[in-house]
Amino acid sequence: MIRVIPEQVCLQHTDFSFREQVEYYRGKVRDVYYLKDKIVLITTDRISAFDHVLPRPIPYKGQVLNQIAVYFLNAVTDICPVWIEDSPDPNVAVGKKCNAIPIEMVVRGYMAGHLWREYKAGRKTVCGVLLRDGYREGDRLDHPIITPTTKASEGHDEDISLNEIVSKQIISKELLDAISKYSLALFQRGTEMAAEKGLILVDTKYEFGLYENKPMLMDEIHTPDSSRYYISDGYEVRQEKGERQIQLSKEFVREWLISMGFQGKEDQLMPEMPEAFVWEISQRYQRLFEQITGAPLVKDNNLHIRKRIEDNLHDYLI
The answer to the question of residue 263 being in a domain is no
Q: Determine the pLDDT at residue 288.
A: 87
Domain that holds residue 202: 102-248
Asked if residue 264 is part of any domain, the answer here is no
Residues in contact with 100: Cβ distance below 8 Å, sequence separation at least 6, in sequence order: 151, 207, 208, 209, 218
Mean pLDDT for the chain? 91
Strand 52-53 to 48-49 pairing? antiparallel
Domain-located, residue 135: yes
Let me know whether 154 and 60 are in one domain: no
Q: What digits encode the pLDDT tens for the residues 295-311?
A: 999 887 666 888 999 99
Q: Supply the CATH number for residue 75's domain.
A: 3.30.200.20
User: Mind listing the pLDDT tens digit for each residue in 210-244?
Assistant: 999 999 999 999 998 899 999 999 999 999 999 99
Give me the number of domains the chain comprises. Answer: 2
Note whether 117 and 188 are same-domain residues. yes
Same domain, 16 and 136: no
What span, in angstroms and rounded, lies between the C-alpha atoms of 93 and 40?
Answer: 6
**Per the domain annotation, does 266 fall within a domain?**
no
Provide the pLDDT confidence category of residue 58 given band limits of 50, 70 and 90: very high
* pLDDT score at 225: 85
Answer yes or no: do 185 and 139 share one domain.
yes
pLDDT tens digits, one per residue of 79-126: 999 999 999 999 999 999 999 999 999 999 999 989 999 999 999 999
Are residue 189 and residue 115 in the same domain, yes or no?
A: yes
pLDDT for residue 152: 59
225 with 158, same domain: the answer is yes
Rounded to 10°, the helix 275-293/251-259 angle is 160
Residue 62 located in a structural domain:
yes
Assess if residue 108 is contained within a domain: yes
Question: Is 14:309 a contact under the CB 8 Å cutoff?
Answer: yes
Q: Based on the fold, state whether residues 196 and 284 are members of the same structural domain.
A: no
Q: Which of 248, 283, 299 is the last residue before a domain boundary?
A: 248
Report pLDDT digits (tens) over 164-173: 999 999 999 9
Local structure of 215: helix, strand or coil: strand
Do 27 and 80 have their domain in common?
yes
The pLDDT value recorded for residue 37 is 87
Residues in contact with 97: Cβ distance below 8 Å, sequence separation at least 6, in sequence order: 34, 35, 37, 38, 39, 211
The share of the chain scoring above pLDDT 70, in percent, equals 95
Position 238 scores a pLDDT of 97
**CA–CA distance, 291 with 231 (Å, rounded to integer):** 10
If asked whether residues 123 and 229 sit together in one domain, one would say yes
> What does the pLDDT average to over 175-192?
98
65 touches 170 (CB < 8 A): no
Label residue 185 by pLDDT band (50, 70, 90).
very high
User: Does 216 fall in a domain?
Assistant: yes
**Residue 78, domain member (yes or no):** yes
> What CATH number is attached to the domain comprising 122?
3.30.470.20
Helices (H), the chain: 61-74, 113-120, 162-167, 173-196, 235-241, 251-259, 275-293, 305-312
100 forms bridges with which residues in the sheet? 209
pLDDT of residue 8: 61
Do residues 210 and 136 share a domain? yes
User: How far is Cα 105 from Cα 219, in angstroms, rounded to an integer?
Assistant: 12
Based on the fold, state whether residues 142 and 239 are members of the same structural domain: yes
The pLDDT score that the predictor gives to residue 6 is 56
For strands 125-126 and 129-130, give the pairing.
antiparallel
94 and 71, same domain (yes or no): yes
- The pLDDT value given to residue 1: 41
